[in-house]
A and B are shown apart, each in its own frame.
Chain A
Amino acid sequence: MVAASCLTMALPHLIIGIRSRGARVHLFFALGGLAVAWVAAAELSIMRAVTVPQSGRLMQMAHVPVALLVIALVGFVQLYFGTGRLWVGMAACALRAVCLIPNFAAPPNLTFREITGLRSFVFLGETITMPLGKPSYWLALAYLSSLFFLAFVIEASWRLWRKGTTDARRRAVVVGGGIVVFIVAAQGASILINAGLINFPFFVSIPFMAIIAAMGFELSYDVVRAAQLARALHESEDRMSLAAESARLSLWDWDIDRDEIWMTSEGRKLLGFSDGERISFDSFVRRVHPEDRASRAAAIRQALESGGSYEMEYRLLRPDGTLRWIAARGRAANGGPGPGKRLLGVSMDVTLEKQAAEEARQQQAELTHLGRVALMGEMAASLAHELNQPLTGIVNNASAGRRFIAGGRADFPKMDQLFAAVAADGKRAGEILRGIRGMVRKGEEERRPVEVGTVIHDTVSLAAADAVARHCSLMAEVEADLPKVEADAVQIQQVLLNLIINACEAMGHMPPDACRVTIEAGAGAGGPDRIRISVRDSGPGLPAENPQGIFERFFSTKRDGMGMGLAIARGIVTAHGGELTCHNIPGGGALFQFSLPVCREPQP
């Protein structure tokens, strides 16, 4: 009966132990159960023995499962508690194993030096026999093993108890306490029986079964909990997949050794893999846009080498020819025991965000362009005036030439001088037109190395006519030998023109000789790798109330102003990594300032 129940308890765990890696504790439990079953069978046979040699031989055999049991219990406690001192347990096992040598080498067995006879008595209505004899000296070895074993279990349990969690304490009491109580009981009983002090059959297997039951209870508890965990895990997986789906997240897991990528169905859909289709690293890469493959591979390699993570954006070129933007994040992970490395990751389809950002960028670019066109519109009168100057020169000189010819006074030096002047004026008109076209043209933003001095000079010559019309004098003070800056020249001109024209307008009601606008450029402020540019006027300064409001859209002090100029200017400066600031100068007037990044590579 004991054997049967122990086998019943042992078998499932044997299966668990064999089938799942990392479940060796189940194997030890199964071994324990089998050993107890064996012990129980041996005890039954000893009780049925009729001759002295038979009883001795049977007892001899019974010591083998006891040794196995000790090994099983030590292994179980060690694995299950994880707190024992292994050497103490190993000592118990070793001593028990050594005990088997005299058990077989010095007959009749480990328990008796000599069996003198058999006692017969009636137990539960059945006549059973128990051997009688002189105890073996070697038995001390077995007791020592038991002591070591007890010490091992008590200490492991004590340490487990000290961990303080409910779970740990219950294990310590049920398993640890169980083992100690029943081992002491079994050992004590067998001492008393062997000494012939009590008439009782060997029922060592019963306390042992209790131990196995206690262990079984705990293990089953674990199995139940594992089932609960599995269910919880399943639910959490469901939630996770819902969340991932809603967030358009694809999860993936690349088993590098087997070169197999597990992926959520969302991810498969995104990449155009059918369910169940095997995904390898290469078949994944084939979906990546050719231009992005190298950078993606480099990021992954780096993450794997450093055991860290990577984050990047790349494009997918799907089999149907559509392009998707992916934001991916991956992390290298060691796949449990062994060298097997894995890469876990999340991919997100950010195509819509990319499109929205691109649209926003285009709108900003369009607004910037419109701002420039409006600015040119504001300056149209002045620009027409500016263009009329060289045209006047051309017409006058040509007319003069014709008159000299008509009057017969056309000499070569005179004609040469006239033609040279005509050519120069023609070029000048062309330059003015080029400047206007550059400002009005709808070009892509273009960052390139730019001479600050040239931009300022071009801007001043474009604004000069307007400034004269407003009785303002423009001054440019550019430090010598400034490094080039990385900027879009047209946009910087736009910012400067805006600031200059605003400054001129702000001084509209002042006496002509008091209207001065100074454009300065120099190294310094904002770090050594930035060039500072400022536009300073001698006007009334910024509005006292909310001076920063001037940067807001639709803020305008002009009757026909759109109120976009400064907002656009600030946007341009921000896009260049700077900040457009303004404040009043103590002596009167306003100062607008911003900075541009110096080119990284020195330009030849």
Chain B
Amino acid sequence: MKNNPRVFVVDDDASVRSSLANLLESADFEVEVFPRADLYLARAIHPGPACIVLDVRMPGIDGLALQQRLAGEGRAEQIVFITGHGDIPMGIRAMKMGAIDFLPKPFDDAALLAAVEQALARSAATRRISSGQAEVRSRLALLTPPELEVLRFVISGLLNKQIAGELGVALRTVKRRRGSVMEKLGVVSVAELARLAQEAGVRPLPDGPKGP
């Protein structure tokens, strides 16, 4: 299936590459192998959960450079590093950058498979979160500019009356716009509204509430 979880192996060493493919297949993973990082980048982004079993040291773009690149693009693949001779600083750097694991070659099959499982799970979660974010964003897009303005006042904690004062409009108008926002975003409480707005990156008004 197109959206199935998939494991990508990127390693310049042919025997490591093919043996990893064998191991992953034996554990019923879908596998694709690439001898070079640039060839992986050239592939279309996999729509389902994805894990890269990535060699650190490679000619051309190496593992750490690929990790940086993917993070920069906000992609959902999770990375399990494998290395023939990894040092601790390199491992720490990789882990800080969000790698699932950093396994020295040769590694235990269970350890690798566990790391791959974990990576795919996190990839799926990330994908879910980001797909949720996308939904909220699309709903926010429905708001009219006055409604968005009211939303930003609401999440900064101002009362309707205060908002009306700030905007110089009638209280009734504020109430109507607020109701419209709740309806369009599909929430029933202010708390829910605040979480959603934060998730979607809507900031409260920059100068915050003014004193009464």
Residues of A whose CB lies within 8 Å of any CB of B are: 381-382, 384-386, 388-397, 399-401, 403-404, 407, 409, 417-418, 421, 424-425, 428, 465, 468-469, 471, 473, 512-513
| Contacting pair A395 B84 (CB below 8 A) | no
Extra A-B contacts (5), CB below 8 Å, given A395-B106, A397-B22, A512-B60: A385-B57, A388-B106, A393-B16, A425-B19, A513-B60
Mark the stretch among B23-31, B44-52, B130-138 that contacts chain A: B23-31
Sample 14 A-B pairs with CB under 8 A, ordered by A number: A382-B85, A385-B83, A388-B84, A392-B13, A393-B13, A393-B15, A396-B22, A397-B22, A400-B19, A400-B22, A401-B26, A404-B26, A468-B58, A473-B59
| Contacting pair B19 A384 (CB below 8 A) | no
B105 within 8 Å of A by Cβ?
Answer: yes
B18 within 8 Å of A by Cβ?
Answer: yes
Q: In whole Å, how far is A129's beta carbon from the nearest beta carbon of chain B?
A: 136
| Contacting pair A418 B59 (CB below 8 A) | no
| Contacting pair A403 B23 (CB below 8 A) | yes
The residues of A that contact B83 with a CB separation of less than 8 Å are: 385
Q: In whole angstroms, what is the CA distance A391 to B19 when docked?
A: 10
- Interface Cβ pair total, 8 Å cutoff: 92
Q: Across the two chains, which residue of chain B brings its CB closest to A464?
A: B59
Q: Across the two chains, which residue of chain B brings its CB closest to A393?
A: B15
| Contacting pair B22 A392 (CB below 8 A) | no
Given A389-B13, A400-B22, the answer on whether A384 and B85 have CB atoms closer than 8 Å is yes
Determine the main DSSP class of A at the interface with B.
Answer: helix
Q: Which 3 A-B pairs have the closest CB atoms?
A: A385-B84, A396-B19, A399-B109
| Contacting pair A399 B23 (CB below 8 A) | yes
| Contacting pair A395 B107 (CB below 8 A) | yes
| Contacting pair A418 B105 (CB below 8 A) | no
Which residue, of B16, B27, B62, B82, has the highest number of chain A Cβ atoms within 10 A? B16
B12 within 8 Å of A by Cβ?
Answer: yes
Q: In whole angstroms, what is the CA distance A30 to B58 when docked?
A: 109
B194 within 8 Å of A by Cβ?
Answer: no
Please, how many residues of chain B have a CB less than 8 angstroms from a CB on the other chain? 26
Q: Identify which of A385, A428, A468 contacts B59 (C-beta below 8 A).
A: A468
The residues of B that contact A391 with a CB separation of less than 8 Å are: 105-106
B20 within 8 Å of A by Cβ?
Answer: yes
Given A389-B105, A403-B23, A424-B15, the answer on whether A468 and B57 have CB atoms closer than 8 Å is yes
Q: Indicate with 1 or 0, residue by residue over B1-36, a CB within 8 angstroms of chain A CB atoms.
A: 000000000001101101110110111000000000
| Contacting pair A407 B15 (CB below 8 A) | no
Residues of B whose CB lies within 8 Å of any CB of A are: 12-13, 15-16, 18-20, 22-23, 25-27, 57-60, 62, 82-85, 104-107, 109
The residues of B that contact A382 with a CB separation of less than 8 Å are: 85
Q: Across the two chains, which residue of chain B brings its CB closest to A418?
A: B22
The residues of B that contact A465 with a CB separation of less than 8 Å are: 57, 84
| Contacting pair A386 B84 (CB below 8 A) | yes
Q: In whole angstroms, what is the CA distance A397 to B23 when docked?
A: 6
Q: In whole Å, how far is A507's beta carbon from the nearest beta carbon of chain B?
A: 14
| Contacting pair B27 A403 (CB below 8 A) | yes
Q: Across the two chains, which residue of chain B brings its CB closest to A399?
A: B109
Q: Across the two chains, which residue of chain A brings its CB closest to B12?
A: A468
Q: In whole Å, how far is B85's beta carbon from the nearest beta carbon of chain A?
A: 4
Q: In whole angstroms, what is the CA distance A305 to B57 when docked?
A: 72
The residues of A that contact B16 with a CB separation of less than 8 Å are: 389, 392-393, 396
| Contacting pair B15 A395 (CB below 8 A) | no
The residues of B that contact A399 with a CB separation of less than 8 Å are: 23, 26, 109
Q: In whole angstroms, what is the CA distance A418 to B25 when docked?
A: 12
| Contacting pair A421 B57 (CB below 8 A) | no
Given A384-B84, A395-B109, the answer on whether A400 and B60 have CB atoms closer than 8 Å is no
Q: In whole angstroms, what is the CA distance A390 to B16 when docked?
A: 7
Q: Identify which of A388, A471, A512 contacts B105 (C-beta below 8 A).
A: A388
Q: In whole Å, how far is B131's beta carbon from the nearest beta carbon of chain A?
A: 33
Q: Across the two chains, which residue of chain B brings its CB closest to A386?
A: B84
The residues of A that contact B13 with a CB separation of less than 8 Å are: 389, 392-393
Q: In whole angstroms, what is the CA distance A513 to B61 when docked?
A: 9
Q: In whole angstroms, what is the CA distance A417 to B68 when docked?
A: 36
Which residue, of A381, A393, A471, has the highest number of chain B Cβ atoms within 10 A? A393
The residues of B that contact A468 with a CB separation of less than 8 Å are: 12, 57-59
| Contacting pair A400 B26 (CB below 8 A) | yes
Which residue, of A394, A400, A421, A428, has the highest number of chain B Cβ atoms within 10 A? A400
Q: Across the two chains, which residue of chain B brings its CB closest to A474?
A: B59
Q: In whole angstroms, what is the CA distance A391 to B62 when docked?
A: 21
Q: Across the two chains, which residue of chain A brings its CB closest to B82?
A: A392
Q: In whole angstroms, what is the CA distance A182 to B108 when docked?
A: 128
| Contacting pair B85 A385 (CB below 8 A) | yes
| Contacting pair A421 B12 (CB below 8 A) | no
Q: In whole angstroms, what is the CA distance A384 to B62 when docked?
A: 18
Q: In whole angstroms, what is the CA distance A312 to B62 when docked?
A: 63
Q: In whole Å, how far is B30's beta carbon from the nearest beta carbon of chain A?
A: 15
Q: Across the two chains, which residue of chain A brings its CB closest to B20?
A: A396
The residues of A that contact B105 with a CB separation of less than 8 Å are: 388-389, 391-392
Q: In whole Å, how far is A403's beta carbon from the nearest beta carbon of chain B?
A: 4
Q: In whole Å, how far is A515's beta carbon from the nearest beta carbon of chain B?
A: 10
| Contacting pair A392 B19 (CB below 8 A) | yes
| Contacting pair B23 A389 (CB below 8 A) | no
Q: Across the two chains, which residue of chain A brings its CB closest to B85?
A: A385
The residues of A that contact B60 with a CB separation of less than 8 Å are: 512-513
Q: In whole angstroms, what is the CA distance A388 to B109 when docked?
A: 15
Q: Across the two chains, which residue of chain B brings its CB closest to A390?
A: B15
The residues of B that contact A395 with a CB separation of less than 8 Å are: 19, 106-107, 109
Q: In whole Å, how far is B102's beta carbon from the nearest beta carbon of chain A?
A: 14
The residues of A that contact B104 with a CB separation of less than 8 Å are: 388
| Contacting pair A421 B26 (CB below 8 A) | no
The residues of A that contact B27 with a CB separation of less than 8 Å are: 403
Q: In whole Å, how far is B65's beta carbon from the nearest beta carbon of chain A?
A: 9
| Contacting pair B59 A471 (CB below 8 A) | yes
Which residue, of A388, A392, A395, A400, has the highest number of chain B Cβ atoms within 10 A? A392
The residues of B that contact A394 with a CB separation of less than 8 Å are: 19, 106
